[in-house]
Amino acid sequence: MSRKKNQHYQGVTQKKIHVAPLSPIPTYRLKITFSALCLILFALMGRVAYLQLIQGFVLETRARDNQTKKVEPIGKRRSIVDRRGRLLAFDEKRYRLYVDPGRFKFPGDKKGLFRKPEEVADKLHGLLPISKGSLIQSFYQQQPGVSVKLMEDVKSETATKIRELRIDGIDLEPYPQRVYPQEDLFSNLLGFLDYDRVPQAGLELSFDQQLSFKEKTRSYRFGRDGTPLPNDIESGVFAVDNAQLNLTLDARLQEIALNALKEQLREWKAKKGVAIVMNVENGELLALASAPTYDPNRYWRYPASFYKEWSVQELFEPGSTFKPINLALALQEKVIEVDGNVYDSGVVNVGGWPLTNWNKEPNGLLNYAEVLQVSSNVAMVNIMKKLSPSKHWDWLNKLGLDQTLDTDLPGFVPGSIKEKEIFVKQPIHQAVASYGQGFSLTPLKLAQLHALIANGGKLVHPHIKKNWANELRVPKNKQEKNLFSPEVTKTVLAWMESVVEEGSGKGVKISNYRIGGKTGTADQTEDGKNYNSKICSFVAILPIEKPKYVVLVAINGPKKSYAYGSTVAVPVAKKIIESLIVIEKLQPLNQETNFSLEKPKTVGNST
């Protein structure tokens, strides 16, 4: 049995294997293979040459575009601050929210899975001032695949929370929003930017170039991990512009002045008012308030007439507040003496025109302090008749009544006076000009002229720009003109102090402080025919022993009876002066101080 098995296995292993004989590879096959390899090599070399020589520049540009990010400037503006650094205007980053409902996906969602608008609305409605139902309705109304603006004015805190949701189909676009934190406090002066960030009024318009950042398009190259690479970055692109416009204004004093104006406008049902506080030594404006005013953050809610700054953009007849100026130039020309007198008969005829006092009453023989106390028109006409009309007109011209004021305030309107030939040939014009009528000027110009009396005869330039913070450039001081002698101005100051001590300015009197002033009530016409309206004003100078400030208040169109400078403007001025004393730490007089002014007697009431 075993022998048969072995024979069987031997038969299998001894089976004959057929081996094919070797033969050489045909030559044509080698040639075909070699030719194919050569063709492939030449094709690769040609492709490389094409990419390098022909497409090289295009590919390099495409690569750089993928590796480089260009950041366009978004038009930021510099901040504006008051004299103590309080922000008046600044840029705040806000966001526009865009949504594409066709791309809604949550983090970790599978490819091809998109979320329903209800799911996205459920996450957003607590962050946005839009109800969930309104969000869902808005999402369904939009065309899928199109990104549409859902809302704007999204604040940074809200934008951060939306980003943390990491929802595809929601995009945030940053933009700068001009913010005015003091709201209506400085609006007439600052102006505003419209929706397209185009300045429309005020300092925003007049200082547009200086307030705009000098930004360039920035290009950044990034590595694979997103790290910015140092090459190809221009020097200075990471520099921060910290410059800001510093104003001479004081927000605290401005608030007091504006609130006092608003209260008085309501009380007297007046149309508008202005209050000015100016440093007489250098022309710095500490307050420049106008009412009615508006909120520049919501400028579209107000009429365009509110956008004007009355103190520099509208003219008025100063009335009796100009009498101290006329007395100063009469003294300067030596047509009156310091201790002289003038007779007031109650009426004076000039060229056939009867001119009277405000109360139609005579005041008799007056010294010049008493002329201001009772605000005598007739006495002023008699005084200024001693000065030739030609010389009087020359003085009004020299004071710059009809010239553009040298100031950095925007939109200043020059005053108006009669032509010299008319002024000289028709005596009525000099007569009415003697008590502040027949010509017009701005409230700021009137404040400048009273500063001329306060500082010893120097014509300073009113301004609100202090400097640009963090800049080395310092504005140069301008040369002021000396028009009146110190002796003349000292005399007129004493007369103005008597107005507060004994005359129509009593309402502004403050214990232990020497204040000078002059009230004014000028008739004006609203229809061009009838004098059916008034402008009530008051100008104060303090402290008299060493004048430093001029305070001017003017209120246009009071409707109630007994509206005069003493009843309408003086109460506002007193509130401002009381606050000015505290803010600027003005020291009271020593109780033992001897007054150099001999107080004249009181001879009557005045406006």
Q: Return the active site residues.
A: 320
Given a contact cutoff of 8 angstroms between Cβ atoms, the answer to whether 549 and 581 are in contact is no
Strand-pairing partners, residue 538, are 519, 553
Q: What is the per-residue burial (b if ≥16 Cβ within 10 Å, else e) of 534-544?
A: bbbbbbbbbbb
End-to-end Cα separation, the chain, in angstroms: 156
Cis peptide before 543 (omega within 30 of 0): yes
Tokens of 330: 């009469």
Identify which of 99, 87, 93 has the alpha carbon closest to the alpha carbon of residue 74.
Answer: 93
Q: Which contacts of 402-407 are long-range, i.e. CB under 8 A and separated by 24 or more positions?
A: 405/312, 405/442, 405/444, 405/445, 405/448, 405/461, 405/462, 406/461, 406/478, 407/312, 407/444, 407/461, 407/462, 407/463
Identify which of 292, 295, 254, 294 has the alpha carbon closest to the alpha carbon of residue 275.
Answer: 254
Distance CA 83, CA 246 (A): 6
Tokens of 243: 């410059």
Helices (H), 212-351: 251-268, 310-313, 323-332
What is the chain's length? Answer: 607
The DSSP 8-state label assigned to residue 50 in this structure reads: I
Identify which of 344, 382, 377 has the alpha carbon closest to the alpha carbon of residue 363.
Answer: 344
- Residues contacting 603, CB < 8 A, separation 6+: 363, 364, 366, 370, 373, 374
